[in-house]
A and B are shown apart, each in its own frame.
Chain A
Amino acid sequence: MDYAYFPGCSLESTGIEFHMSAKAVTKALGINLIEIPDWNCCGASSAHTRGHWISLALPARNMAIAEAAKLDVAIPCAACYARSKQVEVEVSQSAETRAKIEEIIGRPYKGESKARNLTDILYRDLGVDKIAAKVVRPLDGLNVLTYYGCLMTRPPELACDDVEDPVSLDEIMKALGANVLQWGFKTECCGGSLTACRPKVGLDMTQKILDAAIKAGADCIVTACPMCHSNLDMRQAQLAKHDHNYHMPVFFITEMIGLALGMKQKDLGVDRHFIATEEVMCKLEEYEQEQIQKMMNEGGEA
């Protein structure tokens, strides 16, 4: 399974764990990611605030490079995915848009190369059974909440999962053995870049999600968006200054897969989180010990 790979800017810095774990996990699962040479930023939320063509042109260049290599593009970041999918859909639906985009970027792009969310590739193309088959260290006993944020499922015409109740992360986590809790915040917005430019507003949005996660009794949150991850993980320290003390580890889906596949935390980037993940690791180990103990006891009784 070959895909062009577009990591996006966040995965080189604040979301580097996603980059590391995505590469490690896909390799182990037999998915070959070929990074797009000299890719550029997708424009994120800034370009579409400025104009329509600039918001399409930026991701179009990356897609065009991938199309020249006749590859679909695997995109871990939800925002990069949404921006890239937008141009793919618009170009493939309108010859006029295609002509304009080709003129702007100076490369041919027919919209034949598809933008694919990496989670969707794992869930749909590879399938949870293949992931489950490789699990060596099940995440049994771990209570997780899946958090999709807004850009994986919206707008609906670009979505790769159900718009109100997405399931891809849930199904992957179940395949890894985790206990997936239900909550009403799967697709709520984390605040996005508002945490950076209007901190009071953005932090309030982040806080609501963390509050709900604690109320739901989760050990950790699992996400597939570097923006969501950085807001939920990094901003907990900032919220602490406002007398809200949180300790809610936040994982990328690929980190979770990596752990279940028996990979080292360091190789996945898990040691780089702001919120320490020791409790989660301990819980997994304790549970494992308990199970072993239980098996031994039962064996003894028999």
Chain B
Amino acid sequence: MERVGVFICHCGSNIGAVVDCARVAESVKDYPGVAFSTDYKYMCSEPGQEMIQNAIREHNLNRVVVASCSPRMHEKTFRACVAKAGLNEYMFEMANIREHCSWVHAGRNEEATEKAIDLVKMAISKVCNNEVLMKGHAPVTKRALVVGGGIAGIQCALDIANNGYQVDILERTPSIGGKMSQIDKTFPTIDCSACILTPKMVEASSHPNIKLITFAELEKVDGYVGNFEVTIRSKARSVDMSKCTGCGTCMTKCPGKADDEFNMNLRKRTAIYTPFPQAIPNKPVIDRESCLKFKSRKEGKDVCGVCAKLCPAGAIDYEQQDELFTERYGAIVMATGYEQFDHSIYGEYGYGKYPDVISGLHFERLVNASGPTQGHIVRPSDHKEPKTVVMVKCVGSRDPEHGKSYCSRTCCMYTAKQATMIRDHCPDTKVYVFYMDVRTPGKLYDEFYNRTREEYGVEYIRGRVSKIYQDGETLRVKGEDTLLGRQIEIDADMVILANAMIPNPDSERMAQIVGIGYDKDGWFTESHPKLGPVETHTAGVFLAGACQGPKDIPDSVAQAGAAAVKVCALLSKDQLETEPTVSKVDNKLCSGCGLCVPVCPYKAISLETIQERVAGKTIERQVANINGSLCQGCGACTVTCRSGAANLKHFTNAQILAEVDALCQTIL
């Protein structure tokens, strides 16, 4: 015999100002199964919870419905509350009359109240069909995987490792270091980027709890929180890491040449290379696209081989192949970073064809002592020092029509930093910055910006640039000073565009591999914009750094630490509770058609052979079998099953139909 208690929450005025809560409580008083119903201002408060517990005891309730906010807010609270009063926590249902009702129907109080009554009746009908369920347990693999070896990934791995857990860093390029290794100085302190990054890189590479997996990519992720099974593709380096001593002799005579991507293609590199002098591991790889040997092999020949001849350790291995291997991890941190927006979509800025119109990251390489110009600021076309530099902000950012709608957050500061660096290196060079807004919400950021104008004499002009074109030796920049209300033309020797930050171009594919969400621009989606900034909707997968949205170094490092804490909290457990809301198959109904097997995204379903006695004879037939520890309760199998044999516990066909019936009865 069901004895349901119904509790209607006002949520202050959030619900109470729209929905007549007392009327809702009154109208379900005599609904089948209901033994008690009432309303209260804050059901989630301590007195509210006590009210529920007292009612359970006084009225001998065996089921509870709370009509309040979204289950995402307080389902946990109320489940714990009813459990304290002796009920199984799954004998509880929540009707969302806030997000689903009062907030969206404000001003239509009568209809909102009617809808709230319907929602509550549906919840009552469902809870009457609820069954006692028990949570399960699964072991935890005490090792984490950090995908991406930039500053966010390195910091996150160090924090996890220092807490005593094993952690692997998976890096796609030949070295860890990421974008920060390409940057010359960092704002607002102008410390040398490499000087503060390389100690972290060294620490990560020598930490006993950290393993670096470089020049490798994520191939597949199976399993679930606490027990991920990750397949990794280790790309062929063509260099035997165990033999190579990192002496660098192989690179001295290599005749193969390619654009040096680390230096933004401002110079060439050899085909066998390490991306930069402080690379970790400092062992080269062969870029097979530009290696003469591999190129000649495509044409059926086999030439060169200089590096193999030179290598004193015999580490060059032209026959190496990509290798796939699988590792188990308890948690995954995505730290795949960002890329720079490509300004060549802008025809009015020359479609990327003018050599002296460069991006912010190009400038970082130009001004870096180990860069293509040994740190001399010269323009790419003729290597002359520019006497006038124009900087343009928001290129690709805040441009929903041609680029991205968002603000990239870092450009105001990196532009100010680069402007001061130009004034430091070339005191006779004039620097103009075209801006729309200056956004400097960071510690000591606005002070830095003001010094850029006041002490460094950088001229800020408020307005977007409409056109840049090559005019003989110089670039003509056409803008508007919107404060003066006057068109401005400047002859510049070099133009630096503050390009937007965009996600790693591979981010969407990676999100699909790991099974996390991403937004319209490809940034990974956090589980809650305020309260879950490093978590994702997939348990056990966390976010660090710019893969979640444009971020500067301090924010990336802070977020990496936050993600590490979440990982450690997870790995500190010996066992994880698993939800009992998984699918089960009724063998009597299952026809063994197997349709559910391929639709299961977690590979939790297999066909097994059972023996049955039919009309006195023993027969064998196949039925679907669900592995409860793999099943994540998505319900895909239940809607695929044609005989209705598959049922998701806590969301059974009977429960859902009871809700539908409840709703239809009020309509009819």
A215 within 8 A of B: yes
Interface contact A184-B469, CB-CB below 8 Å: yes
Q: Which of A159-197 contact B (CB under 8 A)?
A: 162-165, 182-184
Q: Is B191 an interface residue (CB 8 A)?
A: no
Of the residues A162, A164, A165, A184, contact of B476 by C-beta under 8 Å: A184
- The A178-231 residues at the B interface (CB cut-off 8 A) are 182-184, 212, 215
- Which A residues lie within 8 Å of B351 (CB)? 164-165
Interface bin, chain A: under 10
B348 part of interface (Cβ distance < 8 Å) = yes
Pick the contact of B471 from A163, A165, A215 — CB < 8 Å? A215
> How many angstroms from the CA of A26 to the CA of B470 in the assembled complex?
35
Contacts of A183 in B (CB 8 A): 469, 471
In the bound complex, CA of A164 to CA of B476 (Å): 16
Further 14 A-B residue pairs, CB within 8 A, beyond A184-B471, A215-B471: A162-B347, A163-B347, A164-B346, A164-B347, A164-B348, A164-B351, A165-B347, A182-B470, A183-B469, A183-B471, A184-B467, A184-B469, A184-B476, A215-B472
Say how far B585's CB is from chain A's closest CB, in angstroms: 53
A-chain residues with CB within 8 Å of residue B346 when the two chains form the complex? 164
Q: Residues on B close to A: CB < 8 A?
A: 346-348, 351, 467, 469-472, 476
Mark out the residues of chain A between 136 and 166 whose CB falls within 8 Å of any chain B CB in the assembled complex: 162-165
Task: Give min CB distance, B465 to chain A, whole Å.
Answer: 13
A302 CB to nearest chain B CB (Å): 37
Residues of B within 8 A of A215 (CB): 471-472
19 contacts between A and B (CB under 8 A): A162-B347, A163-B347, A164-B346, A164-B347, A164-B348, A164-B351, A165-B347, A165-B351, A182-B470, A183-B469, A183-B471, A184-B467, A184-B469, A184-B470, A184-B471, A184-B476, A212-B471, A215-B471, A215-B472
Inter-chain contacts of A163 with B (CB < 8 A): 347
Nearest CB of chain A from residue B197's CB, rounded to whole Å: 39
Q: Give, as a whole number of angstroms, the nearest-CB distance from A193 to chain B.
A: 22
In the complex, what distance in Å separates the CA atom of A212 from the CA atom of B467? Answer: 15
CA distance A184 to B348 in the complex (A): 9
Q: Which residues of A contact B (CB under 8 A)?
A: 162-165, 182-184, 212, 215
Smallest CB gap from A165: residue in B: B347
Min C-beta distance of B462 to chain A, whole Å: 23
Contacts of B476 in A (CB 8 A): 184
Contacts of B348 in A (CB 8 A): 164
**Chain B residue contacts of A165, Cβ below 8 A:** 347, 351
- Using Cβ atoms and an 8 Å threshold, which residues of chain A touch B471? 183-184, 212, 215
Chain B residues near A184 (CB, 8 Å)? 467, 469-471, 476
Q: Top 10 A-B pairs ranked by shortest CB distance?
A: A164-B347, A184-B469, A165-B347, A164-B348, A165-B351, A184-B476, A163-B347, A184-B471, A162-B347, A182-B470
Q: Which residues of A contact B470 (CB under 8 A)?
A: 182, 184
B349 to chain A, nearest CB (A): 9
Name the CB-closest residue of A to B468.
A184
Chain B residues with CB under 8 A of A162: 347
A275 CB to closest chain B CB (Å) equals 24
Expressed in whole angstroms, the Cα–Cα distance for A155 and B66 within the complex equals: 58
Give CA–CA (A206, B88) in the complex, Å: 85
Cβ-closest chain A residue relative to B346? A164
Measured in the bound complex, the distance between the Cα atoms of B467 and A165 in whole Å is 12
Q: How far is the CA of A56 from the CA of B507 in the complex (A)?
A: 47
A120 to chain B, nearest CB (A): 18
Complex: chain B residue closest to A185, CB-CB: B469
Residue of B nearest to A164 (CB): B347
Q: How far is the CB of A161 from chain B (nearest CB, A)?
A: 11
Determine the chain B residues whose CB is within 8 A of the CB of A182 once the complex forms: 470
**How far, in Å, is B492 (CB) from chain A's closest CB?**
13
A183 to chain B, nearest CB (A): 7
CA distance A162 to B469 in the complex (A): 16
Give the chain A neighbours of B467 by CB distance below 8 A.
Answer: 184
Q: Give CA–CA (A165, B470) in the complex, Å.
A: 13
- Expressed in whole angstroms, the minimum distance between the Cβ of A233 and any Cβ of chain B is 24
Q: How far is the CB of A258 from chain B (nearest CB, A)?
A: 31
How far, in angstroms, from A183 to B472 measured CA to CA in the complex? Answer: 9
CB distance from A179 to the nearest CB of B (A): 17
